[in-house]
Amino acid sequence: MDDLEFRRTIYADPNCDDIRVKEAAAQDPAKQEFWSEQKKIDASLQAAMKVDVPDDLAHKLILRQTMQTHQHNKKRARVHLALAASLAFVVGVSFTLWQQQNYIDLSAQSLAHVYHEGPHALDANEDFTMQQVNAKLAQYGGHLNEDMGQIFYANHCVHKGVKSLHLVMQGENGKVTVFVVPHKEGYKAKNRVNDGYLTAEAVEMNNTSLVIVSENVHDVEQTKNKLTKGMTFSA
């Protein structure tokens, strides 16, 4: 066996039992040394490959894969969340602008209501008791806790499509109109308007808006303070 064939055979299988390989190595010390060296290298490789596999290796690999998948999903979720937040912001701004264009101003609407109704309510001269007024207020979740003075008029009305309570009571300088309007989307409270003759101011009371209308600004303010202290509404 020549040197080239010997080396090819040893490279292919350092532990071969070929009789020709053994005879060639026995006759040539260089071949014997080469063969021994290759056996040592092969033994080292085999030892390096014999690594004990941990009992929980499969569990760790599954856990690692799960964590990698989770991290990937979190990144995707953050991207989706950012997109959703951007969309929500755009929708929110658009909706706010739409609302501002479609709000019904309760104070201005109340002025129109008083003018449209004329003297019917303002000329009334009844004297409703607290019990009678509370019976009507109960339909709106409201209750008078203290005497508000003479109440000339107390009846239900329709305030821009919303069933409301219309009151006329005595102010310091004259009669004051009060509207009890349940909240409806698109209505705007907490504002005051004055057309040069009448003043109307809206104030929120839980789920209801009160609108006070009078010729006298002082009476509007005074009645508002009395009502916010002496009238309550359930949630």
Tell me how far CA of residue 136 lies from CA of 11, 114, 149, 192, in angstroms. 106, 20, 17, 26
Answer yes or no: is pLDDT of 90 > 60: no
Contact 14, 38 (CB under 8 A): yes
**Can you read off the two tokens belonging to residue 197?**
């003759």
pLDDT of 202 strictly over 60: yes
Structure-model confidence comparison of residues 117 and 164, the more confident one: 164
Q: What is the pLDDT of residue 131?
A: 94
pLDDT at 12 over 90: no
Nearest alpha-carbon partner for 233 in 204, 197, 194, 199: 204
Q: Is 162 exposed, middle or buried (0-12, 13-18, 19+ CB in 10 A)?
A: middle
pLDDT-derived band at 94, boundaries 50, 70, 90: very low
CA 213 – CA 122 distance, rounded (Å)? 11
Kindly report, residue by residue over 43-86, the tens digit of the pLDDT.
Answer: 777 776 665 556 665 666 666 666 666 565 555 655 555 555 54
Other CB atoms within 10 A of residue 218 CB: 12
Task: Supply φ then ψ for residue 31, to 5 degrees.
Answer: -65, -40
Evaluate if pTM is beyond 0.75: no
> Is the Cα torsion angle 172, 156, 145, 225 positive or negative in sign?
negative
Residue 135: other Cβ atoms inside 10 A: 12
Q: What percent of the chain has pLDDT over 90?
A: 31
pLDDT at 154: 94
The pLDDT tens digits of the residues spanning 132-191 come to: 999 999 999 999 998 999 999 999 998 777 889 999 999 999 999 999 998 765 555 567
Task: Give the integer Cα–Cα distance in Å for 229 and 207.
Answer: 16
**So what's the pLDDT on residue 113?**
86
Average pLDDT of the segment spanning 117-135:
91
The mean of the pLDDT values for the chain is: 79
Which pLDDT belongs to residue 107? 84
> Can you give the pLDDT at residue 144?
93
pLDDT value at residue 91: 45
Residue 51 DSSP symbol: P
